[in-house]
Chains A and B, each alone.
Chain A
């Protein structure tokens, strides 16, 4: 859970910074997309590093979900008889409510997100258009923007616990109260960074 989560967080940071290229204009954004495919060429084949990253990410996502399912099954086995009273959370209930269902929401969103912007199947401009056009067209539909915003906020809430929890699981969190603040801050920065692009498209700053 912690190790795969850490890989995904590093990816999210890179992804968010890459998204901010939007504000540098279509050429810069499309150029960045192209660079991702050609980085290291001719030392490594075209798409070489990108494919490597993709493989690592898919493996991380699969193992992350596998860990979550394993934890869920262990939890179910550890409490075969449930409480008659609805168990009231004494720790705010944040983790209990956000992590598992939030994770499912994020997984569903990632599937749509890839179909929309990576493969272009669910995109009005189609897969042949430039990445920039696909992004503008994708976010020109209000319901897509809304779904995106909900999913990104869910990611932020997931990370607020997940980041700190990873340090805890790896035994690094002991006595370091600042880690919770760090987790909340990094989550907030990621959410704002990701939301800035569709928001800019919505108010017409980016066309």
Chain B
């Protein structure tokens, strides 16, 4: 199939960017979205042009590196799917596809579709860890963990930190990401002693980075490739209020 792409091109963080139109021919429906961009880039390189820069790493949907807003939807319209796992069979011959980077002040564009997500790292550094040396993996039955808590922690721990929640949020809030990390660590015995203080420092760092406030619109969970639930935000708020008392 043949596609028309409108892609955000921005040479460097300080230069203004713009949408540029490209045509890609002979796209196979079996290609992933990133492979389709690889084909485009091969053509651009052969023609002596600058290839489109985009983030990617594992291409298995588990690393959280890739991510772009496709036709106005973070990671595209396919539910619970990262961009690398989005396949071209979901598009039709002749489609016009717009591709933009995550848009948020704390995620400045580095080049084209690549944004700097260090703000997430700083939120983790503010409290997304367990301070005591927990050693190697303990015996499974050494510290009993109720099944419900283990499930909550595991579901939240599936967050890959891609930033789609921020990209989709009309408020540009990072609450789903921060809530997922707080729920992941705070649900388990090793992370419980720091549960309240962790929520406080991480939320404060999130606000400091310039993310917006959460109004529970649910746009984040709808685009999340891992389907993280809004419950993690309630958990974050509960822990934060506990620390603020």
Interface residues of A (CB under 8 A from B): 1, 70-71, 74-75, 77-92, 95-96, 99, 161, 164-165, 167-175
- Bound CA span A96–B213, Å: 14
Contact residues in B for A81 (Cβ distance below 8 Å) = 103
Alpha-carbon separation in the docked complex, A95 to B213 (Å): 14
Interface string of B203-220 (1 = CB under 8 A from A): 000000011111111110
Say yes or no: B73 contacts A165, CB within 8 Å. no
Contact B212 A164 (CB under 8 A): no
The proximity string for B residues 156-190 relative to A, scoring 1 for CB distances below 8 Å and 0 otherwise, is: 00000000000010111100000000000000000
With contacts A71-B215, A74-B171, A75-B212 taken as known, whether A171 is within 8 angstroms of B235 at the C-beta atoms is yes
Interface residues of B (CB under 8 A from A): 6, 8, 19, 69, 71-73, 77, 98, 100, 103-106, 168, 170-173, 210-219, 221-223, 230-231, 233-241
Q: How far is the CA of A168 from the CA of B236 in the complex (A)?
A: 10
Query: In the complex, what residues of B have CB within 8 A of residue A86's CB?
Result: 72
Q: Would you call B231 and A175 a contact (CB within 8 A)?
A: yes
**B216:A164 contact, CB within 8 angstroms:** yes
Return chain A residues, CB-CB under 8 Å to B170.
Answer: 75, 87, 96
A71 CB contacts on chain B under 8 angstroms: 171, 212-213, 215
Q: B103's contact among A79, A95, A161, A168, by CB below 8 Å, is which?
A: A79
Contact yes or no, A168 B71, CB < 8 A: no
Decide if B216 touches A74 in the complex (CB within 8 Å).
Answer: no
CB-based A-B contact count at 8 angstroms: 113
B33 to chain A, nearest CB (A): 16
Write out the residue numbers on chain B whose beta carbons fall within 8 Å of the beta carbon of A164.
Answer: 216
Closest to A68 in B: B215
Q: Contacts A71-B215, A91-B218, A174-B235 given; 13 further ones with Cβ under 8 A? A: A70-B213, A75-B170, A75-B172, A78-B104, A82-B103, A85-B98, A87-B73, A90-B73, A161-B216, A164-B216, A169-B214, A169-B216, A170-B241
CA distance A119 to B231 in the complex (A): 45
Residues of B within 8 A of A77 (CB): 105, 210, 212
From A84, A85, A90, A170, B219 is in contact (CB under 8 Å) with A90
Q: Is the CB of B212 within 8 A of A171?
A: no
Question: Which residues of A are found within 8 Å of B233, using beta-carbon distances?
Answer: 168
Which chain A residue lies CB-closest to B207? Answer: A74
CB distance from B108 to the nearest CB of A (A): 10
Query: 17 A–B contact pairs at CB < 8 A?
Result: A1-B215, A71-B171, A71-B215, A75-B171, A75-B173, A83-B103, A84-B98, A85-B71, A86-B72, A88-B72, A90-B168, A90-B223, A165-B215, A168-B234, A171-B239, A171-B240, A175-B231
CA distance A161 to B215 in the complex (A): 10
Q: Which residues of B contact A161 (CB under 8 A)?
A: 216
Distance of B231 from chain A, by nearest CB (Å): 5
